[in-house]
Structure 1
Amino acid sequence: MDSVMPMDHQEIVEDDPFLRFIEYARSMLSTEEDEALDPKNGNGAETNRPSWNWIASRILKTCTSYSSGVTPAILLSDICQGWSEQHRDGAPKKRPECINQLGKKYTRAKLPNAVTIDSIYEKNFLSLNSVLEAVIIDAYVLPGTNIYMLTLGDFWSSNTIDLYLHRRYYDLVDPQNGILKKGREILITGCYLRTAAEGSGYTRLLPTEYLVILLDEDEDDDAMLLGAQFCSDSFSSVSLDEVNSGVSYSLYARIESIGSLEVHGKFDTLQRKQITLVDNEGIKMKFLLWGEQVLLANLFNIGSMLALDRPYIANSLESAVEASDEIFLEYGSATQLYLVPFIRHEEQVCITLTQNRSQGSGLPSTFYSSPGSRVSQVSLPRDCHGFIDFSNYPFQSFVTDLQDKMTGISLYGVVTSIVKERRTSQAIFILRIKDTTGAISAKLHFAKFWSLGRLSLGHTVFISGLTCSMTKQKCLEALWFENDVGASLINLSCMPALLNSSCLQKLSNLPNLSSQTSCTQVVRVWLEMAYCQVDTRFMHSICGHFINDTPSGIIDCSFCHQILDAEVVRSFHLKITLADEGGKVFAWSTGQTATELLQISPDEFHELPEEEQVMYPSSLQNERFVVALVNCKRPGYRGSDCLLHENDAISWEITYALKCE
C-alpha cells in the first residue's frame, strides 16, 4: 500500500459531483432526532443514519437502473424508500409478550436475505431464497384435519402469518414435549406463498423442508437438550461400519466456512454448497448441500454452532465427490438442524483525521474531532475471526485507513493498473486503485470469468466488499470475491447516467482538465477532423479489450486471456481531436463510445470502399457532443501490455459520448 499526503476532503467533495451528492443526500436524510446522539450508545455512533457506503451503493444502483438519467428527486426518493424498508420499526403496539421478551435479547446480526412479515404482505410476494427470522406465536391443528399450523411473528412486523408445517417436523410439535412451541425462534427459507387471491381466504406460507430451530445455551431446557443429545458423539467417533449397520449420530460443531455455490453434472444442472464444520476436538468435516438444499446455507453464518440430528453419512467413493476426505455429512430425509447463533461483539473504532475530513458539510458540527467534541469513536461488529465489519461505517474509507482484519470496506478512486494473474486457471485479477490518500492493490476473485465489462486505466470506480488482512510477509493484502454478500465493483466512467444526470456531473472545459482528479471529467466539445485516425479491430465483447491473433491461429484475449469465437466482435480504435472555446485535446476511444462518435457501426464502416473510409470522418466535422474523459496515461505502469497498446501513449480516453441535439 502506497500512501500520499491526503488532500483536504472538503475541496475534493466540491470538485467531485458524485461525492458532493452523497453528502447532500446524507444531509437531506438528517433530522434533529437523527443528529442527536443515541443515549444508549455512549460512543456517539450514528445509529439512525445510513452509512456512506450504503448511500453510495444505493445511488449507483439507481443510476444503473435509469441509464437515461436521474434527478435529485428520483435519487432521494429511492434512498429514503430503501432506508425506510431496511430499518422499519413496524413493531405493533400490542405484539405478543413472547416477542417482547426475546427482542430484549436480540443481539445477533440479521441474515443477508432476511425479509419481514410486513414486507411479504406489502409486496404479496416471497422469493425462494428469502429468509424469515420468525418467532412461533402459536402451534395448532387445522380443525377436522391432522395438519399442523404455526402462527409466526417477527421482531420488526405488526403482522403475523401462518405456515403449514412440513411433516418431517411433526415429531417436534407435540403440545406437551415438542420444541416447536410458543416463544421458540426458527429460521425458514425455501417458502412458497399462497395468497388470499388463490382461494384460501388467508395469505399463508406453504410447507418447507428448510427450517432451522434456534437454541439458546443460556436457557436451561436448551442447554439440557444440547448436553443430552449432541455431546456424546464427535467427528472422530463416526464410523462407516456403524453407519452401514444402522447407527445414527447427533453431532455438534462450529461453522468455520461457507463455500461458494458450485455447479456439477454433465449439463451443469446440479448445484452444490459446502459447509466446513469444526467440532470441539478441532476435527473438521464437510457438510454438503445438493440441489435445492443449497437454500439452507442462507440460514447459516460463520461462527454459529450447528447441531445436526441424524445427518446422512456419505462415503466419498459412493458419492463420486472429488476430495481427500473419506466421510461427508449430508442433509438427509431424517435430518433435523438446530443452531446456536454466533453473537457478534462490537469493537470501538477510533475516527481518524482522514475520516473526519470525509464528513463534508452534510454532518453536524458535533461530529468533528475538535477539542471538547463528543465523538471520537464508533462501535462496529467483530466476527469470530476478529475481523471488524466496516460495511456500516458512517464515513468514507480511504486507502490510508486500511489495516489488518478489516472487512466490508468500500473504496472510491481511480484504476492505475490491472492485470490477470497468470499462474492460476481461476479468474483472478490484480486491480490497483488510487484515491487522494494513496494506492493499494486488490486481488479480485471472480466466480467464473471477468464479468465487469470494459474497465481500463484512469477509470473511476467504486468497489465494495473488500477484506484486508496481513500476509505472512507482513504486507497488507486486499481481497475481493464476486459472490460475497455486499461485493460490487462499478465503473462510473462508463455509466450512461453520468452524462444524462446534471446532478452527478460538473461541466469542465478542455484547458482546465486535471490529470490529478479522482473523478471522470465531463466536457461539451465538437469534433475536429484535421487529424483523425479510424481503425477497426476485433474485440472481446465480455471485457471490451482487443484480441491477439497468434501464429497458431488461436484467438487470445489480450486482457483476460480467455475467449470463445462467439464473443469476438469488430470494434473501432479511434483517435480524434476534441475542441471547445478554450482549447483542443487529442483523445482516443473504442467500443460503443467510438461508434457513437462516428455514428456508424464498425461492420458498416469496414464494408465501405477504402476511399470512402478515408473521406468519412470529414463528414463529422464540428459535430457536437458531451463526453466523459479520463486520464489514462500512467507513468511507470507495469500491467497488461494490451492497455498500453490501446491508448498508444495518448493521455485522454473518451469513455462515454452523448450527441448534442
Structure 2
Amino acid sequence: MDPDTAVASADGGPFLEFVDYAISMLSSSAGDGDGYESPGDGPAPARPPWGWAVAQLLKSCCAYSSGVTAAILLSDLFQRKSLTLKRKVKLPKLINTKNKRRRLPNTVTIDSIHEKNFLSPNSVLEVVVIAVFVLPGTNIYMLTLGDMWSASTIDIYLHRRYYDCIGQNGILKKGREVMLTGCCLRTAMEGSGHARILPTEYMVILLDEEQDEDALLLAAQFCNYSFSSLILEESRNNVPYSFYARIEKIESLEPFRCAERMQIILEDNDNAKMKLVLWGEQTSLANLCSVGSMLALDRPFIANFIDNNHEDSQELCLEYGSATQVYMVPIAQQEEQVPFTPTQVKSQGPRLSCVLTDNVASQVTLPRDLYGSVDFSKYPFRAYVSDLHDKMVGISLFGTVTSVCKVSTSGTTFYLELEDTTGVVLMKLIFVGPWSLGRVGVGHMVYISGLTCALSSTNILEVSWREKEPGSLFVNLSLLPALLNSSCLHNLSPLSDLPRSTNRTHISHVRLDGIDCDSLKVSLFHNICGSVVNEHSGVLQCSFCKCACESVCARGFQLHLTIADDSADVLAWCVGQTAVEFLQISPDEYLELPEDERAMYLYTLQNESFVVAIANTRKRVDGCAVGDEAVPAWEITRAQKCE
C-alpha cells in the first residue's frame, strides 16, 4: 500500500483517498487570488479546507444517488470553487477587508438560509447591502443583501425606523455593511417568487473610522456628549444625546416582572462607564455586539437602572428606545498560529513532509473568537480524535460509530461515540426538535462537521454538535446509495477480508447463499430514525428515540441471511430498505402470501447477485435483536441487485 494513503485506507478506504486526490487537484490548480490561504507562512501550495472538500463531495454524492464518476465529482468541486472565487472577487469591491473582523457566534450564511429554508430569530446576519430599491407599486424599501461566505443573495423588507437612513445622503446604501438579528423568513410559496426576510428593528450599521464619510459622522454626531454630561432631570430625554463608547462586558441580568434582561457595559473616552439595558426581545441585540468593539448610540432612552427588582434607584442607564439608532465600529478579528500535528503530517505522506521542510510551512493561521476558541472550519488538513483539545470550534471528524443513544426519555439530546485510527470520542448531539439524522447504527461510517470542544468544570473535554448551526453537517456514508454505485469511491473486496475491515465500510460482490422464514421477521419501524418500534402499556414507542410514534411508523423487515463469494461465506443481518432490496418484495406484499408460498418464494432468491456495503456491528446495543436470538456481527447497510 502507498504510504500516502495508508491512514486513509485504514478507516475511510477509497473515499478518503479520493478526497486527498481531489484536494491535490484543487491545490495544483490554485493561483494568486484563488481565495485559499497557504497552510503556513512559507510558499507552500494553497489548499482548500479539508472539511470543505469532504462536504462538497458528499453533497454531490447525495445529489447523484444513482452514482457518480471521478469526472462528475471533480467538475462539481471545481464549479463550487469557482462560485467561491467569483464571490470573493465581487464582494471585496463593496466590503473593506483590510481589517478582518470576527464572525459572531450565531452568524448564519445566506446560502444556508436558502438551503434549509429556515432562519431562527436568534440567528445573526453579517451582510453587505448590494442594492436598495422600492417595491414596485408601493412605498416599501427593500435591501438586497450578500455576505462573504455565500454565492447567493437575499432581499429584506426594511423596517420603517431606518427609512431616515435611506436617500442620496443617507448612510444605508450600496456597499454598507450591517448586522441583523430577530429576523423571520417569508418562505417562497409556489408561484410567488423567492424567499425574503421580513422587517426587523434590530439592525446595527457598521462604520469604519478610516473612511472619511464614517469618520465625519462619528466626529459630528457622537463626540459632543460623554456619560458624565447626562442630567438627572426628567427633561433629559428631550436632549438628543449621542454617545461613542467601547463595549467592556456583555452579561445577563435577573429578570424583572418576568421580562428577560441583558446589559452591555460601556466605557467612553473619559473612562466613565454606563449600562445599556436591553429588555425582552431587545436582548437579541446583544448577539450583534462583541467585547472591544466601539458602539455609537444615537438617541438612546435614559432611565433609572432597576436593581434587584427595586425601581427607586438613582443610577442612570441607557435603554434601546423607539428613536434609538445603533452603529458599531467592530474590533478586528484575532488570529492564532496552529501547528500541524504529527498525525496530520503523517496522514499526508512523505509528499507533505517535503513541502513542510522545503518551505518552512509548519503551521496555519486560523481565526479566534472572543472566548479564545480557534475556528478549525478553514483548517487545510484532516483533524483526528487525538487532535481534539479545549477551545476548538468548527471541527470536522470522519470515523466509525461505536455507540449511539438518547440521553433520556424526554428532550432532544443524544450521545454518539465516534472512533478513528487515533482514538474514540464521545460527543453530545443537540437537536432543535426530534432526531433528524435518519438511521445511524454501530459500525456505520460517518462524517460530522461543526463540532465544538470545551473543558467542563471538572476538567473533562466535552465535544458537542448542534443541529442547524452554521457549518453543521452529518452524513452517514454507510447508507449512501452513491457509495455502491460509484467505482471511484470504493474497491470491491472479498468477504475473506472482513476481519481486517473493523473500522470502515466493506464493499463486496456477493451472492445470496441462505435465507429462510425463520430468519425473517416483519416488525414496525420508526420512519424518522429507522429503529424498531415496541409496545409499552398499549403505546407504541421507538426503541431508539424513546418517543411515542403511532402515526410515524411502518412495517419493515428484520432479516438474517448468509452471503457468499469465492473466498468465504458470512452470516449477516439487515433491516428496512436494504432487506427489501434483497427480498424484492414489500413487507405488506410478503404478509399477503400464504404460509406455504413464503418459503417457496424465499427459495427462489437463492444465488441472486448483489453489491453490498458491510459494517462491523459487534458492539451493537440498540435493541434490534429478534427475541433472544444473537445478532450477527456484520450488518449489510446497503445492497444493490446486480442485473
Short-chain TM bin: 0.7 to 0.9
Q: Does 1:215 align with 2:207?
A: yes
Of 79-88 and 165-174, deviating more is: 165-174
- Aligned residue type for 1:386: G
> Matches of residues 132-147 of structure 1 in structure 2 within 5 Å?
133-134=127-128
Mark the CA change 1:364 to 1:140 in structure 2 (over 3 Å): closer, same or farther.
same
Mark the CA change 1:602 to 1:479 in structure 2 (over 3 Å): closer, same or farther.
same
Mark the CA change 1:131 to 1:629 in structure 2 (over 3 Å): closer, same or farther.
same
Mark the CA change 1:278 to 1:14 in structure 2 (over 3 Å): closer, same or farther.
same
Contact 1:522–1:627, Cα closer than 8 Å, also in 2: yes
- Aligned residue type for 2:6: E
Contact 1:303–1:383, Cα closer than 8 Å, also in 2: no
Q: Look up the match of 2:48.
A: 50
Q: Distance in 1 between matches of 2:429 and 2:554?
A: 26
Cα drift, residue 428 of structure 1:
0.7
Mark the CA change 1:103 to 1:402 in structure 2 (over 3 Å): closer, same or farther.
closer
Counterpart among 341, 350, 365 of residue 352 in structure 1 = 341
Cα drift, residue 430 of structure 1:
0.7
Cα drift, residue 582 of structure 1:
1.2
Secondary structure at the residue paired with 1:17?
Answer: helix
Counterpart among 595, 616, 638 of residue 656 in structure 1 = 638
> Matches of residues 70-109 of structure 1 in structure 2 within 5 Å?
70-88=68-86, 91=89, 102-109=96-103
> Matches of residues 401-440 of structure 1 in structure 2 within 5 Å?
401-422=387-408, 425-440=410-425
- Aligned residue type for 2:204: V
Mark the CA change 1:39 to 1:156 in structure 2 (over 3 Å): closer, same or farther.
closer
Consecutive unaligned residues of structure 1, counting only runs of 5 or more, are 1-6, 121-126, 194-204, 259-273, 315-328
- Aligned residue type for 1:445: I
Structure 2 length as normaliser, TM-score?
0.75
Q: Look up the match of 1:387.
A: 373
Structure 1 length as normaliser, TM-score?
0.73
Q: Look up the match of 1:615.
A: 600
Counterpart among 461, 466, 481 of residue 496 in structure 1 = 481
> Matches of residues 109-508 of structure 1 in structure 2 within 5 Å?
109=103, 112-114=108-110, 133-134=127-128, 168-172=161-165, 179-180=171-172, 185-186=177-178, 212-216=204-208, 220-221=215-216, 224=219, 232=227, 278-280=264-266, 289=281, 334-360=323-349, 366-368=354-356, 370=357, 374-422=360-408, 425-508=410-493
Contact 2:130–2:175, Cα closer than 8 Å, also in 1: yes
Between the two proteins, the alignment pairs up a number of residues equal to: 584
Q: Distance in 2 between matches of 1:155 and 1:445?
A: 28
Secondary structure at the residue paired with 2:426?
Answer: strand
Q: Does 1:11 align with 2:11?
A: no
- Aligned residue type for 1:395: F
Q: Look up the match of 2:523.
A: 537
Contact 2:38–2:44, Cα closer than 8 Å, also in 1: no
Q: Distance in 2 between matches of 1:537 and 1:161?
A: 46
Cα drift, residue 468 of structure 1:
0.6
Q: Distance in 2 between matches of 1:525 and 1:538?
A: 28
- Aligned residue type for 1:134: V
- Aligned residue type for 1:21: F
Contact 1:632–1:647, Cα closer than 8 Å, also in 2: no
- Aligned residue type for 2:109: N
Cα drift, residue 90 of structure 1:
6.3
Q: Deviations over 1:6-37 (max 9, x none)?
A: x9763133461110110111111123654999
Of 180-189 and 522-531, deviating more is: 180-189
Q: Distance in 1 between matches of 2:156 and 2:483?
A: 46
Q: Does 1:30 align with 2:23?
A: no
Cα drift, residue 223 of structure 1:
5.2
Mark the CA change 1:644 to 1:440 in structure 2 (over 3 Å): closer, same or farther.
farther
- Aligned residue type for 1:29: L
Contact 2:526–2:532, Cα closer than 8 Å, also in 1: yes
Cα drift, residue 384 of structure 1:
0.2
Contact 1:413–1:433, Cα closer than 8 Å, also in 2: yes
Contact 1:539–1:569, Cα closer than 8 Å, also in 2: yes
Q: Distance in 2 between matches of 1:86 and 1:608?
A: 56
Contact 1:91–1:155, Cα closer than 8 Å, also in 2: no
Cα drift, residue 50 of structure 1:
1.1
Secondary structure at the residue paired with 1:513?
Answer: helix
Cα drift, residue 410 of structure 1:
0.6
Q: Distance in 2 between matches of 1:572 and 1:354?
A: 42
Cα drift, residue 644 of structure 1:
9.6
Contact 1:453–1:542, Cα closer than 8 Å, also in 2: yes
> Matches of residues 575-590 of structure 1 in structure 2 within 5 Å?
575-590=560-575
Q: Distance in 1 between matches of 2:527 and 2:108?
A: 33
Contact 1:254–1:277, Cα closer than 8 Å, also in 2: no
Q: Look up the match of 1:69.
A: 67
- Aligned residue type for 1:398: Y
Q: Distance in 2 between matches of 1:301 and 1:461?
A: 35
Secondary structure at the residue paired with 2:601?
Answer: helix
